[in-house]
Amino acid sequence: MKYPAIDYTSYLELDNILGSQKPKSEEYKQPAHDEMLFIITHQTYELWFKQILHELSSTLQLFSQKEVKDTNMGIIVSRLDRIMEIFKLIKMQIPVLETMTPLDFLDFRDMLYPASGFQSFQFRLIENKLGLLSTERLTYNNAPYSKVFSEKEQKELKASEDQPSLFECVNKWLQRTPFLNDEQFDFWKNYKVAVDKMLSTEIELTNRNSLIDNDIKEKQLAQIEKTRELFSALFDKTKYQELKAQGQWRLSYESVHAALLIQMYRFEPAFQLPFRLITRLLDLDATLTEWRYKHALMAKRMLGTKVGTGGSSGSDYLKKSTEKHKIFNDFFQLTTFFIPRSQLPDLPDTLTKKMNFNYSQ
């Protein structure tokens, strides 16, 4: 098939893209050199947000099917790898923007009221599609985050809240994890025995330690008791559901078991991709949090304690949203319950055979 010839400029719509930087300071005849950097930085962010949404939508489409095909798992993980690399890249744009000093910023800041990054529609879509719950969001000027958007955008945001997010897809997928128990092996039962053994050994070693005095010994024993309590909340389904209702956990009870199994036995062939997926979720959350933190620091550096152009308390609001707007926190909490590999229950051969890659001629 013959395709019509095309050139670089028209293919990339460069006339449109490069004609879209219109500094307000020029329009108001008070040219501020750094406004170009400010505009281009925000525009490149929005372009990368578009790419992230492209990857996320495809991931969700593959992931929200009743059964995720093995062939699609690789695609899902590579989409998340790509999103992660983009996150790392856009985080690096902050130091570039910070070459603009606070005084350079003040040259044109007043011309931007009441525009604010808070009105980035694509950023909100990304948060929703990843799984940030609207109930977990800070309110903004005593109103929901969506109030700053047009009616059409609000509808789209609501739809993104109602559709299954990455968090929800992962939760459902984990719930379906096989290998948790069969006639030969019950992971949860064996794991509980291993935890009890680990804690008893710790108590025994602490009691036998002649190098520490009684005060310290008691403190250490109390600490071990606290760890036991943490574990017992995990072993007791009713307690876990109570903690979940209080917002301390978000994953289902069954998903927690699966996530622990996958991570603790991650070298088993069947768990290698699932392990990479969970690691990516941790990476994504950590990098987004790092971005939020760096952005809050930049706002503090540029504005001090001034309020934001969008009317928030400025860097204070951003600091709080850094702490609160986390999505995959459960996976961070789960590491509390890892036990040393040497103390993990051995998997029976029948099970490891099932988890191997099987090739047939």
Q: Quick one: which of 143, 148, 85, 89 has its CA closest to 121?
A: 148
Alpha helices (H) in the chain, listed in sequence order: 8-11, 14-18, 24-27, 35-63, 70-91, 93-97, 102-109, 121-130, 151-162, 166-175, 187-208, 214-235, 237-245, 253-264, 272-303, 315-324, 329-334, 349-355
Which residue from 318, 327, 347, 351 is in contact with ligand HEM, where contact means CB under 6 A?
Answer: 318
Task: In angstroms, give the least distance from the CB of 94 to ligand HEM.
Answer: 7
Asked whether position 309 contacts ligand HEM by CB under 6 A, the answer is yes
CB 253 within 8 A of CB 263: no
Nearer to ligand HEM, 116 or 154 (CB): 116
Which residue from 310, 327, 345, 351 is in contact with ligand HEM, where contact means CB under 6 A?
Answer: 310
Asked whether position 23 contacts ligand HEM by CB under 6 A, the answer is no
Asked whether position 181 contacts ligand HEM by CB under 6 A, the answer is no
Asked whether position 321 contacts ligand HEM by CB under 6 A, the answer is yes
Nearer to ligand HEM, 45 or 188 (CB): 45
Which residue from 68, 254, 282, 311 is in contact with ligand HEM, where contact means CB under 6 A?
Answer: 311
Name the DSSP class of 348: P
For the stretch 87-90, contacts whose Cβ atoms lie closer than 8 Å and that sit 24 or more positions apart, written own/partner, are 87/52, 87/284, 87/287, 87/288, 87/291, 88/287, 89/48, 90/44, 90/45, 90/48, 90/291
- How would DSSP label each residue in 280-325? HHHHHHHHHHHHHHHHHHHHHHHHTTPPPTTSS-THHHHHHHHHH-
Nearer to ligand HEM, 125 or 318 (CB): 318
Asked whether position 118 contacts ligand HEM by CB under 6 A, the answer is yes
Instruction: Tell me the window of 12-20, 62-70, 251-259, 314-322 that interacts with ligand HEM (CB under 6 A).
Output: 314-322
Task: In angstroms, give the least distance from the CB of 157 to ligand HEM.
Answer: 13
Which residue from 120, 154, 206, 279 is in contact with ligand HEM, where contact means CB under 6 A?
Answer: 120
- Residues of this chain, 29-48, that bind ligand HEM according to CB under 6 A: 41-42, 45
Residues in contact with ligand HEM by the rule CB under 6 A: 41-42, 45, 97, 105, 116-118, 120, 123, 295, 298-299, 302-303, 308-312, 314, 317-318, 321, 325
